């Protein structure tokens, strides 16, 4: 596992990046972190400079959790603040579920729903189909996957990595200062059945594909990943939920959810399957965490998208420092 660990002293803060990215997406945040903290930003399995280990999707996000736990043991870190963006938010929630005493605080930035990504409806994450149809490796855009594998740095398609960065990661059109570095980070994504997007199987339920057992998108499928019982952990560290209101990736009307795309006519033969209310599901689970005695603060940022920590870096660091001093 490749990591950014720039200080050997201070309160440890572990930064967990999202899907199709790497630790490079934390650079802006790391430069703003006061000296009293020790930032650790690993490349998660399948991204950045990691070894080509496969992802066992039947374990949900626990391959990533176990990697992070092993890293912290190697660094001699017993307790840390966790900061998870997108998929990394799911890793953080699973880490809290598995190692509650090791978490000082948890910050979630536009996290994957506690019920996984795709294939559910309602605030309690009810499966649309027992096999998880509409989630997993078969839901990825194949041209986008191919362009990652080819190392495409162009803007000649709406599904080139550079175009997806500009139009989906931030509020479109997002042209960040470190755009070149972010595109390069996206291109480190390992592709194939063992990584991104993963394998898939045919389903009799709409849209005709269900998750397989390998790869990153399947690891976030609701048949493999579900942390809606996080309210049971003890002790309960304080939680910050920081999100962009104009996120098109993690949303109640996500442009990456096939059910929502079917509803707007972008995916054919839609049968009325409802879109996944990702934000409402996260709020439902965190409200229960608060009802059971946990501290939760939700901060919704207008005019910001999925990479809200990069679009509003000063606002984000202020909220992060606040929750880490609770």
The string of DSSP codes covering 127-162 is ESSTT-TT-SGGGS-HHHHHHHHHT----SSTTSHH
Report helix, strand or coil for 113.
coil
The pLDDT tens digits for 61-71 are 999 999 999 99
Is pTM beyond 0.85? Reply is: yes
CA distance 276 to 122: 7
Enumerate the domain spans of the chain.
3-124+221-324
The pLDDT tens digits for 24-49 are 999 999 999 999 999 999 999 999 99
pLDDT in 10s for each residue of the chain, 326 residues: 555 655 678 999 999 999 999 999 999 999 999 999 999 999 999 999 998 999 999 999 999 999 999 999 999 999 999 999 999 999 999 999 999 999 999 999 999 999 999 999 999 999 999 999 999 999 999 999 999 999 999 999 999 999 999 999 999 999 999 999 999 999 999 999 999 999 999 999 999 999 999 999 999 999 999 999 999 999 999 999 999 999 999 999 999 999 999 999 999 999 999 999 999 999 999 999 999 999 999 999 999 999 999 999 999 999 999 999 98
Q: Which fold is adopted by the domain 3-124+221-324?
A: Rossmann fold (3.40.50)
Q: For residue 9, what are the contacts with CB-CB under 8 A and spacing of at least 6?
A: 38
- Both structure tokens of 8: 């050997």
- Both structure tokens of 326: 């609770």
Report helix, strand or coil for 57.
helix
Report helix, strand or coil for 284.
helix
Tokens 């599901």 belong to 281
CA distance 181 to 179: 5
């Amino acid at each position: 596992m490749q990591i950014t660990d720039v200080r050997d002293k201070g309160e440890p803060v572990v930064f967990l990046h999202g899907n199709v990215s790497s630790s490079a997406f934390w650079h802006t945040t790391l430069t703003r972190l006061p000296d009293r903290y020790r930032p650790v930003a690993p490349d998660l399995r399948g991204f950045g400079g990691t070894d080509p280990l496969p992802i066992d999707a039947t374990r949900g996000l626990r391959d990533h959790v176990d990697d992070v736990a092993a890293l912290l043991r190697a660094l001699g870190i017993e307790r840390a603040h966790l900061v998870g963006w997108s998929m990394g938010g799911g890793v953080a929630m699973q880490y809290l579920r598995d190692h509650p005493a090791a978490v000082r605080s948890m910050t979630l930035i536009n996290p994957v729903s506690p019920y996984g990504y795709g294939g559910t409806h309602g605030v309690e994450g009810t499966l649309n189909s027992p096999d998880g149809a509409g989630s997993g490796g078969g839901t990825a855009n194949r041209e986008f996957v191919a362009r990652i594998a080819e190392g495409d740095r162009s803007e000649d398609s709406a599904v080139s990595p550079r175009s997806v960065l500009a139009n989906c990661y931030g509020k479109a059109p997002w042209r960040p200062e470190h755009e070149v570095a972010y595109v390069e980070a996206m291109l480190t994504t390992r592709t194939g059945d063992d990584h991104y997007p993963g394998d898939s199987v045919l389903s009799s339920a709409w849209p005709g594909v269900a998750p397989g057992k390998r790869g990153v998108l399947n690891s976030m499928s609701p048949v493999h990943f579900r942390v809606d019982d996080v309210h049971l952990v003890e002790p309960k560290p304080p939680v910050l939920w920081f999100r962009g209101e104009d996120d098109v990736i993690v949303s109640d009307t996500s442009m990456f959810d096939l059910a929502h795309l079917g509803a707007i006519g972008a995916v054919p033969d839609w049968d009325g399957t409802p879109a996944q209310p990702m934000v409402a599901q996260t709020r439902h689970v965190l409200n229960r965490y608060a009802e059971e005695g946990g501290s939760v603060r939700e901060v919704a940022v207008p005019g910001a998208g999925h990479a809200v920590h990069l679009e509003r870096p000063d606002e984000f660091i202020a909220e992060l420092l606040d929750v880490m001093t609770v």
